[in-house]
Amino acid sequence: MATKLNIVHIICHDLGQHLGCYGGPDVFSPNLDQLAAGGVRFANCFTASPPCSPARACIMTGRYAHSNGQVGLAHRGFELPEAEMTVVDYFNAAGYLTANIGVQHERCDPLRNRYQADDHESPNCEIVAAKARAFLSSRESEPSAPFYLNLGFREVHLPFTRPEYAPDGPDRVVVPPWLPDNHGVREELARCIGAIRFMDQSVGDVLAAIAQASLCRNTLVMFTTDHGMAFPRAKGMLYDPGIGTALIMRMPPGEGLSGAVATELVSSIDIAPTLLAAAGIEPGGNMQGVSFFGLLTGRAYRPRDCVFSEKNYHDSYDPIRAIRTERHKHLRNYECRPKIILASDLKKSIASAEMWPWANEERPAEELYDLTADPYEMDNLAGSPELTGIRAELSRRLSEWMAETGDPLLHGPVAAPAGARVDPPDLPADCA
């Protein structure tokens, strides 16, 4: 590559993989589908921690939440430590212009993220896209330094009530098999799809601005999200609907694969080293992710055989650890909690008004799922004699990962920072 790559990083809220290019039959997302057609769509990308701030900190640092220190929500007092390096620091040191427009969720004061330019006044996607257009236009006339541009959309966060969202009819939506099919779920899904459609238009505006500024030839475009959809058993949970995330990356023409689907297991902590590899920047020694740049270019790549995910704090303390292979997932629940726990925004959602009868039962200490036979993780096989060996092996590997990464949960409850706001936990009747 003759010049350093520019990087445009678009991240939205609470999307999971609910897009047309991911097989959503009722989702209209032509611009993101087009981005996937021109690049690589990652079918098996998983967040290393599903609450919003930890999810984004894992992306930005290339480190697990308990390692980078962001184990809860920034606006509740769980900020990414000042000393923790992010990709912004690496790009600054490499001579990049770094800029953020819209949402950031790692530190309460966006200026402490050390972007050279920051505009977080409005997180609405259409305003972020308009400001991105102005930024990109300016880079056409002043191309002296490569840039890293982070664009944070508030969409598609609850509530889905902005008048700009045009909801589908509830009778037209396709209810995912991991959700109960009832009126509340259908109504909220219809609204959510309207929000996705509106967000996709803003992605299209950004892509058009890149093209109009003649930046396609040397710009990597990445679209992703923090965690799963804002629906029961997804957002804030470690089942696949909660940790599975959309990830689409497009290299400049001739520099990477086009229209490819990568089925390899990818963790969100792998994104930071991949972006640095694309820019020719050496990552620091404490980065825990591994670059998957080879999956973008068709070059050598050593695939993962598993990914790990964790939860510590969302609204309340809810410590969970999980290991996921291609075939199985093993979860450990460290506190007495209901089988489905709802984030505060989900508690207000009509999709949560009528859930499964077992939703408030006590969660088991261990869960094991055969993802081939049971992709929606409804049949817990942790007690199955036939899978004793698999459960023991996954449990061993999970313990080794926790030990190798210095997980504080091995020594007792993960402490919250002084002054952090933590709600009392929801407890099943048996634990109250």
> Could you say which of 243, 274, 297 is where a domain stops?
297
Q: Mean pLDDT across the stretch 133-153?
A: 90
Q: Mean pLDDT across the stretch 247-271?
A: 97
**C-alpha triplet 7, 35, 123: angle, nearest 5°:** 60
Q: How much is the mean pLDDT over the chain?
A: 95
Verify that 54 and 164 share a domain, yes or no: yes
pLDDT band at 430 (very low <50, low <70, confident <90, very high): confident
Verify that 399 and 323 share a domain, yes or no: yes
Neighbours of 403 (CB within 10 A): 10
Verify that 169 and 281 share a domain, yes or no: yes
Compute CA distances 89 → 61, 99, 277, 349, whole Å. Answer: 10, 12, 15, 38
Task: Supply the pLDDT for residue 432.
Answer: 64
Kindly give, in sequence order, each residue whose CB lies less than 8 Å from that of residue 47, ignoring residues fewer than 6 positions away: 55, 58, 226, 227, 243, 245, 267, 268, 309
Range in 38-47, 114-123, 135-144, 363-372 with the lowest mean pLDDT: 135-144
Q: State the pTM of this model.
A: 0.96
> Could you say which of 243, 271, 297 is where a domain stops?
297
Task: Supply the pLDDT for residue 110.
Answer: 85
Verify that 146 and 228 share a domain, yes or no: yes
Q: Which of 84, 110, 97 is nearest to 146 (CA)?
A: 97
Question: For the sheet containing 117-119, what is the strand order?
Answer: 117-119, 97-102, 147-152, 6-12, 219-225, 247-250, 40-42, 260-262
Verify that 134 and 74 share a domain, yes or no: yes
Q: Which helix (H) or strand (E) holds 91?
A: helix 87-93
Structure tokens at 272: 């930071």
Kindly report, residue by residue over 242-258, the tens digit of the pLDDT: 999 999 999 999 999 99
Task: Supply the pLDDT for residue 3.
Answer: 72
Kindly report, residue by residue over 403-412, the tens digit of the pLDDT: 999 999 999 9
Verify that 333 and 289 share a domain, yes or no: no
Verify that 311 and 290 share a domain, yes or no: no
pLDDT at 310 over 50: yes
Task: Supply the pLDDT for residue 1.
Answer: 44
Peptide bond into 177 cis (omega under 30): no
Verify that 282 and 354 share a domain, yes or no: no
Verify that 163 and 259 share a domain, yes or no: yes
In a domain, 427, yes or no: no
- Domain encompassing residue 395: 307-411
Give the chain's domain count.
2
